[in-house]
């Protein structure tokens, strides 16, 4: 199978060679990198004089089984809404290669993978397997991709993991984040989970503020 095409991305903040902290932030199903452009711009401005940079990739388009085979931007094909999700692992692997290529292009001393929903699932999947270590992984309304054939990798180093999730999420319930925390803890990681009362499948100002504080702790 040929390597997947490189991902196109928005870049917000300082240039790659000037960045102290780079964040690759992946959108959810059916969206694109523009979905979090305003958030990235706000966070890079708030971080000054620290030099932050956000890379917001656009997922390729796939037929998504869950959505009656409709073709849309997706990091992988979702078969059904079970927890853990039933997914096409070949499409997960293809996106993993694309995201690894983005990581390889970022020279910043601190690099974070983050994402919303399906993008958060990819942040965890890639970040837990990437060598050398990343500065951290953050998910917003995300979940963990796992199966008998794809268990959580054994811990090889300390890796900050922040899980941010609304209590009223109707698409990815809070229980999915709680399950992710349990699975990660069982593999000897120490994830933190912050929940937001009344928040549905979206982000809030409080959540973005908490993400900013979490990133600040990782910034040089």
Q: Which residues contact 156 (CB under 8 A, 6 or more apart)?
A: 131, 133
Distance CA 35, CA 39 (A): 9
Burial class of 220 by CB neighbour count within 10 A (0 to 12, 13 to 18, 19+): exposed
Cα-flanking dihedrals φ and ψ of residue 44, to 5°?
A: -65, -35
Distance CA 40, CA 26 (A): 11
Active-site positions read 117, 169, 201
Q: Which two tokens stand for residue 130?
A: 């990437």
H helical segments located in 105-163: 118-127
**Contact between residue 40 and residue 127 where contact means Cβ atoms under 8 Å apart:** no
């Amino acid at each position: 199978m040929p390597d997947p095409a490189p991902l196109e991305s928005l870049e917000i903040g300082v240039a790659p060679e000037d960045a102290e902290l780079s964040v690759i932030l992946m959108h959810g199903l059916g969206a694109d990198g523009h979905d979090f452009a305003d958030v990235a711009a706000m966070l890079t401005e708030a971080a000054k004089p620290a030099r932050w940079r956000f890379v917001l990739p656009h997922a390729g388009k796939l037929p998504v089984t869950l959505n009656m085979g409709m073709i849309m931007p997706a990091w992988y094909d979702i078969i059904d809404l079970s927890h853990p999700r039933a997914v096409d692992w070949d499409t997960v692997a293809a996106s993993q290669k694309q995201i690894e290529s983005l990581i390889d292009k970022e020279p910043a001393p601190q690099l974070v993978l983050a994402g919303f929903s399906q993008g958060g699932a990819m942040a965890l999947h890639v970040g837990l397997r990437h060598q050398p270590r990343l500065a951290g992984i953050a998910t917003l309304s995300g979940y963990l991709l796992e199966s008998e054939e794809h268990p959580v990798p054994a811990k090889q180093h300390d890796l900050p993991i922040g899980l941010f999730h609304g209590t009223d999420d109707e698409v990815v319930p809070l229980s999915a984040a709680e399950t992710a925390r349990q699975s990660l803890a069982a593999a000897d990681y120490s994830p933190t989970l912050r929940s937001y009362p009344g928040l549905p499948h979206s982000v809030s100002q409080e959540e973005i503020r908490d993400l900013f504080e979490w990133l600040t702790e990782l910034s040089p």
